[in-house]
Structure 1
Amino acid sequence: MTQTTTDRPSGRTGGAVVPVLAFAGIVVAVMQTLLVPVVKDLPHLLDATPADATWVLTSTLLSGAVATPIMGRLGDLHGKRRMLVASLAVMVVGALVSAFTSDLLLMIAGRTLQGFAMGAIPLGIGLMRDTLPRERLGSAMALMSSSIGVGGGLALPAAALVAQHSDWHALYFGAAGLGVLAIALTLTVVPESPVRARGAFDLPGALGLSAGLVLFLLPVSKGSAWGWTSGTTLTLFAAAAVVLLLWGLMELRVPAPLVDLRTTARREVLLTNLASIMVGISFFVVSLVLPQLLQLPAGHGLGQSMVVAGLCVAPLGVTMMFTAPVYARLSARYGPKTTLILGLLIIAAGYGGGLGLMDAAWQTVVTSVVIGAGIGLAYSSLPALIIGAVPASETGAANGLNALMRSIGTSVSSAVIGMVLANTADTVGGVGIPTTHGFRISFLIATAAVAVGLVLALFLPAGRPSEQHPRLRASSEEDANLKRAEAALSGFRGRVLDAAGVPVARAEVTLIDRHGRRAGATVSADDGGYALTVPAGGAYVLAARAAGHAPLDSPARHGGDGHPVDLDLSLPAETVSA
Structure 2
Amino acid sequence: MLLALLCTAAMVVMAGEAMLIAAFPVIEAEFGVSSVFTAWILPAMMIVGAMTIPAIGVLGDRYGKKRLLIICLSIYAAGAIGGGFAEDMLSLLCCRALQGAGLAVGPIACALIAEQVPERLVPSAIGLVAATDGAGTFAGVLAGAYIVEQYSWQTCYHGMAPVAVLLVLAAAIIVRPSPVRGGRGVDLAGTALFSLAILGGMIALSLWDPSGLPGPTVAALFALALGALILFLHREGQADDPIFNAGFFLKSPVRTVCINDMVVMLLFFLLLQSMPYIIESPAGLGLTAFSVGLIMVPGTVADMISGVVAGKIVQKKGFQFAFAIGALEIAIGCGALIVFPLSVPVLVLVWTAISAGMSVLLTVDNIVVVAAAPRDTLTTASALIHTLQSVGGTLGPLITGIALVGHSGAPAGTAFATIFAIGGAIAVLVLVQAGIVQGTVVESRNTERSTREKPAFFSCSGRD
Residue among 70, 80, 84 paired with 1:95: 80
Aligned to 1:443: 420
**1:58: how far off?**
5.2
1:511 aligns with 2:447: yes
Q: Which structure: greater helix fraction?
A: 2
Aligned to 1:373: 356
Name the SS for the 2:425 alignment partner: helix
Matches within 5 A, 1:233-382: 233-297=218-282, 300-382=283-365
1:76 aligns with 2:87: no
**1:440: how far off?**
4.2
**1:454: how far off?**
3.0
**1:416: how far off?**
3.1
Bigger Cα Rg = 1
Residues 286, 87 of structure 1: alpha-carbon distance in 2 compared, 3 angstrom cutoff: same
**1:322: how far off?**
0.7
Residue among 11, 30, 52 paired with 1:45: 30
Aligned to 2:91: 106
**1:441: how far off?**
4.1
Aligned to 1:190: 175
1:462 aligns with 2:439: yes
Is this contact kept in 2: 1:337–1:385, CA < 8 A? no
**1:21: how far off?**
0.8
Aligned to 1:175: 160
**1:92: how far off?**
1.0
The higher relative CO (CA closer than 8 Å, separation ≥ 6) is in 2
Of stretches 57-66 and 253-262 in structure 1, the one that deviates more from structure 2 is 57-66
Is this contact kept in 1: 2:340–2:346, CA < 8 A? yes
1:218 aligns with 2:147: no
**1:422: how far off?**
4.2
Residues 48, 377 of structure 1: alpha-carbon distance in 2 compared, 3 angstrom cutoff: closer
Residues 160, 320 of structure 1: alpha-carbon distance in 2 compared, 3 angstrom cutoff: same
Distance 2:42 2:273 in 1: 14
**1:348: how far off?**
0.3
Residue type of the alignment partner of 2:432 = V
For residues 105-154 of structure 1, give each alpha carbon's deviation from its aligned partner in whole angstroms, at most 9, with x where no partner exists.
43333222122211111111111111101222112112323544442233
Is this contact kept in 1: 2:127–2:309, CA < 8 A? no
Of stretches 368-377 and 182-191 in structure 1, the one that deviates more from structure 2 is 182-191
Distance 2:193 2:142 in 1: 39
**1:206: how far off?**
1.6
Distance 1:440 1:157 in 2: 26
Name the SS for the 2:438 alignment partner: coil
Q: Which structure: greater strand fraction?
A: 1
Residue among 443, 448, 452 paired with 1:523: 452
Name the SS for the 2:451 alignment partner: strand
For residues 16-64 of structure 1, give each alpha carbon's deviation from its aligned partner in whole angstroms, at most 9, with x where no partner exists.
3223212211211122223322222335534667766666555434322
Is this contact kept in 2: 1:20–1:185, CA < 8 A? yes
Distance 1:228 1:398 in 2: 38
**1:312: how far off?**
0.9
Identity value in percent:
24
Residue type of the alignment partner of 1:511 = T
Aligned to 1:27: 12
Residues 195, 461 of structure 1: alpha-carbon distance in 2 compared, 3 angstrom cutoff: farther
Distance 1:93 1:463 in 2: 43
Residues 149, 394 of structure 1: alpha-carbon distance in 2 compared, 3 angstrom cutoff: same
Q: TM-score, normalised by structure 2?
A: 0.88
Residues 320, 223 of structure 1: alpha-carbon distance in 2 compared, 3 angstrom cutoff: same
Residue type of the alignment partner of 2:426 = A
Residues 509, 388 of structure 1: alpha-carbon distance in 2 compared, 3 angstrom cutoff: closer
Distance 2:7 2:159 in 1: 18
Name the SS for the 1:522 alignment partner: coil
**1:460: how far off?**
3.0
Distance 1:267 1:86 in 2: 33
Is this contact kept in 1: 2:127–2:363, CA < 8 A? yes
1:62 aligns with 2:47: yes
Residue type of the alignment partner of 1:409 = G
**1:332: how far off?**
1.0
Q: How many residues align?
A: 453
Residue type of the alignment partner of 1:388 = A
Distance 1:113 1:136 in 2: 33
Distance 1:97 1:25 in 2: 20
Name the SS for the 2:450 alignment partner: strand
Unaligned 5+ runs, structure 1:
1-15, 468-507, 513-519, 525-578
Residue type of the alignment partner of 1:333 = K
Is this contact kept in 2: 1:62–1:218, CA < 8 A? no
Residue type of the alignment partner of 1:401 = L
Distance 1:521 1:167 in 2: 56
Distance 1:226 1:190 in 2: 52
Distance 2:383 2:269 in 1: 19
Residues 377, 47 of structure 1: alpha-carbon distance in 2 compared, 3 angstrom cutoff: closer
Unaligned 5+ runs, structure 2:
454-464
Q: TM-score, normalised by structure 1?
A: 0.72
**1:280: how far off?**
1.1
Aligned to 1:120: 105
Residue type of the alignment partner of 2:416 = F
Of stretches 443-452 and 87-96 in structure 1, the one that deviates more from structure 2 is 443-452
Name the SS for the 1:100 alignment partner: coil
Residue type of the alignment partner of 1:183 = V
Is this contact kept in 2: 1:327–1:377, CA < 8 A? yes
